[in-house]
Copies of this chain bind each other. A is one copy, B any other.
Amino acid sequence: MTLVTATRSSPPTLYKRIRTDIERRILSGKWPPGYRIPSEHELMKRYDCSRMTVSKALTELAQADLIQRRKRAGSFVRRPQVLSAVLEITDIRAEITALGRRYDYQLLSRRRREANRGDRTWLGVTEACDVLALEACHSADGIPFAKESRLINLDAVPEAARADFSRDSAGSWLLAHVPWSEAEHRIAAIGADDKIAKTLHTAEGSPCLVINRRTWRNGQTLTAVRLVYPGQEHQLVARFKGRQAA
Residues of A within 8 A of B (CB): 26-29, 32-33, 63, 79-80, 82-91, 175-176, 178-191, 205-210, 213, 217-218, 229, 231-232, 234-242, 245
A21–B206 alpha-carbon span in the complex (Å)? 50
Interchain CB contact under 8 A, A231 and B190: yes
Set B86, B178, B209, B242: member contacting A84, Cβ < 8 A: B86
Copies of this chain per assembly: 2
B237 in contact with A186 (CB, 8 Å): yes
| Assembly CA distance A79 to B176 (angstroms) | 7
Are A89 and B80 in contact, CB atoms less than 8 angstroms apart? no
Which residues of chain B come closer than 8 Å to A83, judged between CB atoms?
88-91, 175, 183, 213
* A184 contacts B27, C-beta separation under 8 Å: no
Inter-chain CA distance A91–B84, complex, in Å, is 10
Residue from the list B26, B209, B237, B242 in contact with A184, Cβ < 8 A: B237
